[in-house]
Structure 1
């Protein structure tokens, strides 16, 4: 079955992109609930027939020849077209043959699933997705398996698929050739069903917690004890059982036990989620011969740990699909349910929690996809990524279940609404293969194990690889040490980066920039961050906002006048967007510009203008038409700050001297601006605004700061005490730090997802709001934890005997609004996500 799959080659340690279904293929099944031999749409007999080259699709321009990675196996940000097809086929199959009404019916039956569906799944290849063809499988990967499990989770499909997959994985990885041939083909063709029995009462997540006793009998063992939380125990034909064969922490074994063996008793118990089966496995003197031992006794610890990781990834995949389905159900209800004359989805009290869940869904998916890839390609990174993914997934699913019921109101409490089925499923998913707390504890123990080892390494083209080496060589020669960055050294640095065209590197070469591709821009940023190099340019606003706007919308004369000044650092631009009473509603701005001949006369006020007192010019949005739609009457002007009629007044913030003079009000009284200073056409300002704001919300750069902040927090915790004990011994604190770690790693992967979409030329506006909201939540939460750790020293500011670390923690705790509010507050980002991504009604 299936087609041989080449080893993965692309090196992109980042999550697979959120996928879109392909259009349905030609239907080959006859109408009705029965099956035709044709099986899958398009005449495909199994998933193996969907593609002759299952792979992780590369985020590299088409036609680039693949080549071996320099630094190990590869991953990709996006599902391949073939994997998209697999998802579409699985979804159509489940929608047709096991829709929610059928799920409702099956959960009331004794078996809980349909044997004929199981047999058809086997024929289609779903039971052996990640098994080699030699043993009856499709020869694919754990990433492909996750595609299938997401869809079964989405539809709440009742079957032993997850348990069977894990049993097969254990035999594949731990068994010898004879054992593989003995058991795997039956698990792949559906003639036998397997499950795993790893956990016991009160047991933790580590293999060393295994307590089930094994006594030597000849070359085999007698097993005594009970396993808890065994999936699908009553339908299993075989169990992969962990046991303890000695007193040492590593004296562990794995064995395959047939359900019919004397002394075996498997029993399922009633569950909150009736679509699942879960129970106990009792072993009373069960004999296992040597040929049933998976690997050597006393050496099974790593295999048990790996099986726990695979189980956490598999359950997280089902959670992913279930959260998406529950979110879609709730969004649809919010669109249709009318209260106070409007759909309830119109209200922010409904929009915002749904937007937050969407952000968390996409974020834990990043960890999930990376963990699935790591199972096959980076075993040393699996445990931490699996624990971070499972913990974050459980947090999200539990919230989705609760909020889904609440947002459905009283109807959500009835069995008539499908949303309750997902609440029930969340109660099953929480403890299976470890709840959130258990995985946060485990992740803290594993915190020194890196993800994305060595950074995000793409399988670069020869030209891109050469560019990376050029950047490294440049940094080796020109990057001044951190303790030697005085004025003279910085002048030399800026001169060097300017000559190398790294300043404005994304700009076209004809505009004085470096003409760097999206991939080269990423390489440059990544290498600069690794080397902790200084800022590349001096006019941050000019490089990030004003220059790109002039390049896209400006005249040739403007390009010739302003761009060289920005690149050389001879200008210092500020932005004139916000106004009193307008806030983030930029389309409502009122600063007026009236044309008089070859000039505009500007009157009005701008507020929250960063560093206006130091600026040479203001990139200013003004209203030139009060009669048209508000989005159409905005115009962009470049106004010298020394123009007569401009007054700058500082805004004093509560954050103290550290943020003194950061923000200003700017008043315009009859300020005359030449028409030649207009960027773009009159009324084209809104397009410029939308283009520029995206430059502020990519989210990649913030992740580096989050990592450093978490390191400092952990170091502070190492010097702090809670209730008289070292803070790092406090369980709740450790879990908080692990929660931050999960969300930081997800933020990094989310940012790389945005990069991939940029490389592909796909829209990234939605990603920008997700990344901004995710990063802001991290910033505020970590700042507050720092203050909590300071205890009695937290009220003190400045570098005094009473303060800690020179008052740096207070600076962060008071200064976060500069990042969180700038570029659109979290509530604005939630509105954007809810309206543009989830399709809820606009305010």
Structure 2
């Protein structure tokens, strides 16, 4: 595994930096800086997606025949790292990184022709219908019924923690089409229109006071059989394929940016002893420990990159990366809250909006610290909880 960039890689990095400098407006940078979750406000994620789409850079990991860039693994890593360093808004992952690859792998030609261009352009904005009350980490326990009636499935039940369902016009959804036998064997993967009669969305406001997730109800919702991806009762196989993308890497660069911001904050803020926070031995020690962990995250990410570049499956290294990345993110959040001290308790939700144009109390980094901390507690749960990831590593690495 060679970590040094080749001359071609350096030239590509410079090209990306030039593009970002020319196209990232102050408003988009401010949106990236004030984000409090891995999911960006749709207004800014779609604005940035349109810019990238016009350049042909919106889907670096997609095959060229479907609108991808044709970049190699190192180029994709460089692009992700430079976007993080420049403070670019994150793109909504549900279409580009999740259902898009699933449609490529399991969809019909008609589904590929219809949905993939709309995902690239942002015309379709997706949400994920997986979790249910009583079926979160144990996803195989899902109970949303889908009964076949001619050329349609009739859906009755509910999904919960559905991110951005209040904005989405499309959902990819796991439903139960068979109740007998092994639970995994009776699940089907469907694509559906969120405007279909019988679909209703109820907001769930998080501890951070934000409306990001929802509960979605289905009351005799008719979904055409043409919306099925893969065979009936084979949705578990499709779902596992999708989770490989949900647990992907790309975390080290963003964590590095957060670490640098935290160091800058520690130079500005005061400790209880009256000096700069960075001079407090306890705080400085924990900050340095996170820096060491970040080195480990980055090396794991490069290991995954090397495996992918060689055409191999990274195996349990992806579980290690997911666990390391989310737990390091949470440690950074904890130190940020400690660093902003009293400002963490001030509710300034309205002032966080990039276009708010209103005064706020304290420094700008005080706007997002507590909200990030609260929202990112879910990082060790979504995409397969870290307990499950440790089970995978124990089984595949230690043979337990």
TM-score calculated relative to the size of structure 1: 0.42
Following the alignment from structure 2 to structure 1, what is the Cα–Cα distance between the partners of residues 221 and 27? 45
Residue 137 (structure 2) pairs with residue 584 (structure 1): yes
Residue 71 (structure 2) pairs with residue 521 (structure 1): no
Following the alignment from structure 2 to structure 1, what is the Cα–Cα distance between the partners of residues 346 and 13? 45
Following the alignment from structure 1 to structure 2, what is the Cα–Cα distance between the partners of residues 491 and 782? 28
Query: What are the within-5 Å matches in structure 2 for residues 205-224 of structure 1?
Result: none
The residue aligned with 1:833 is 393
Following the alignment from structure 1 to structure 2, what is the Cα–Cα distance between the partners of residues 691 and 488? 29
Following the alignment from structure 1 to structure 2, what is the Cα–Cα distance between the partners of residues 547 and 629? 28
TM-score calculated relative to the size of structure 2: 0.85
Match of 1:502 among 49, 53, 57: 57
Cα deviation digits, residues 209-249 of structure 1 (max 9, x gap): xxxxxxxxxxxxxxxxxxxxxxxxxxxxxxxxxxxxxxxxx
The residue aligned with 2:166 is 613
Query: What are the within-5 Å matches in structure 2 for residues 165-204 of structure 1?
Result: none
Contact kept? 1:622, 1:635, Cα under 8 Å: yes
> Is the radius of gyration larger for structure 1 or structure 2?
1
How far is the alpha carbon of 1:804 from its aligned partner?
Answer: 5.6
Residue 100 (structure 2) pairs with residue 540 (structure 1): no
How far is the alpha carbon of 1:675 from its aligned partner?
Answer: 0.7
The residue aligned with 1:729 is 279
Following the alignment from structure 2 to structure 1, what is the Cα–Cα distance between the partners of residues 242 and 47? 30
- Over 3 Å counting, the alpha-carbon distance change for 1:505 and 1:733 in structure 2 is closer
Following the alignment from structure 1 to structure 2, what is the Cα–Cα distance between the partners of residues 746 and 692? 26
Match of 1:754 among 304, 308, 311: 304
Match of 2:26 among 458, 473, 482: 482
- Over 3 Å counting, the alpha-carbon distance change for 1:793 and 1:471 in structure 2 is closer
Q: Which has the higher contact order (CA 8 A, sep 6+)?
A: 2
Match of 1:562 among 106, 115, 127: 115
Following the alignment from structure 1 to structure 2, what is the Cα–Cα distance between the partners of residues 524 and 493? 14
Structure 1, unaligned runs of 5 or more:
1-9, 14-73, 75-456
Match of 2:262 among 682, 702, 713: 713
Following the alignment from structure 2 to structure 1, what is the Cα–Cα distance between the partners of residues 110 and 123? 18
Residue 322 (structure 2) pairs with residue 781 (structure 1): no
Following the alignment from structure 2 to structure 1, what is the Cα–Cα distance between the partners of residues 174 and 290? 38
How far is the alpha carbon of 1:652 from its aligned partner?
Answer: 2.0
Residue 244 (structure 2) pairs with residue 694 (structure 1): yes
Contact kept? 2:85, 2:254, Cα under 8 Å: no
The residue aligned with 1:822 is 382
Contact kept? 1:797, 1:803, Cα under 8 Å: no
- Over 3 Å counting, the alpha-carbon distance change for 1:639 and 1:483 in structure 2 is closer
How far is the alpha carbon of 1:797 from its aligned partner?
Answer: 2.9
- Over 3 Å counting, the alpha-carbon distance change for 1:688 and 1:515 in structure 2 is farther
Number of paired residues? 378
- Over 3 Å counting, the alpha-carbon distance change for 1:597 and 1:704 in structure 2 is same
Contact kept? 2:23, 2:51, Cα under 8 Å: no
Match of 1:636 among 176, 189, 193: 189
How far is the alpha carbon of 1:682 from its aligned partner?
Answer: 1.3
How far is the alpha carbon of 1:467 from its aligned partner?
Answer: 5.4
Please give the root-mean-square deviation of Cα atoms over the aligned residues, in Å. 2.9
The residue aligned with 1:648 is 201
Residue 217 (structure 2) pairs with residue 667 (structure 1): yes
The residue aligned with 2:35 is none
How far is the alpha carbon of 1:725 from its aligned partner?
Answer: 4.2
Following the alignment from structure 1 to structure 2, what is the Cα–Cα distance between the partners of residues 490 and 592? 33
Residue 346 (structure 2) pairs with residue 796 (structure 1): yes
How far is the alpha carbon of 1:599 from its aligned partner?
Answer: 1.0
Following the alignment from structure 1 to structure 2, what is the Cα–Cα distance between the partners of residues 531 and 724? 33
How far is the alpha carbon of 1:747 from its aligned partner?
Answer: 0.9
The residue aligned with 1:100 is none
Query: What are the within-5 Å matches in structure 2 for residues 414-493 of structure 1?
Result: 457=5, 459=6, 471=16, 474-475=19-20, 478-483=22-27
What SS does the aligned partner of 1:650 have? Answer: strand
The residue aligned with 1:132 is none
Following the alignment from structure 2 to structure 1, what is the Cα–Cα distance between the partners of residues 117 and 148? 28
How far is the alpha carbon of 1:790 from its aligned partner?
Answer: 3.9
How far is the alpha carbon of 1:708 from its aligned partner?
Answer: 2.3
Query: What are the within-5 Å matches in structure 2 for residues 18-417 of structure 1?
Result: none
Cα deviation digits, residues 485-540 of structure 1 (max 9, x gap): 799999886455324321223222322333433344234323434444455x5x53
Contact kept? 1:518, 1:759, Cα under 8 Å: yes
How far is the alpha carbon of 1:791 from its aligned partner?
Answer: 4.1
Match of 1:813 among 347, 366, 373: 373
Following the alignment from structure 2 to structure 1, what is the Cα–Cα distance between the partners of residues 48 and 370? 32
How far is the alpha carbon of 1:471 from its aligned partner?
Answer: 4.1
Following the alignment from structure 2 to structure 1, what is the Cα–Cα distance between the partners of residues 116 and 154? 25
What SS does the aligned partner of 1:628 have? Answer: coil
Contact kept? 2:84, 2:257, Cα under 8 Å: no
What SS does the aligned partner of 2:248 have? Answer: coil
- Over 3 Å counting, the alpha-carbon distance change for 1:514 and 1:710 in structure 2 is closer
Contact kept? 1:699, 1:747, Cα under 8 Å: no
The residue aligned with 1:452 is none
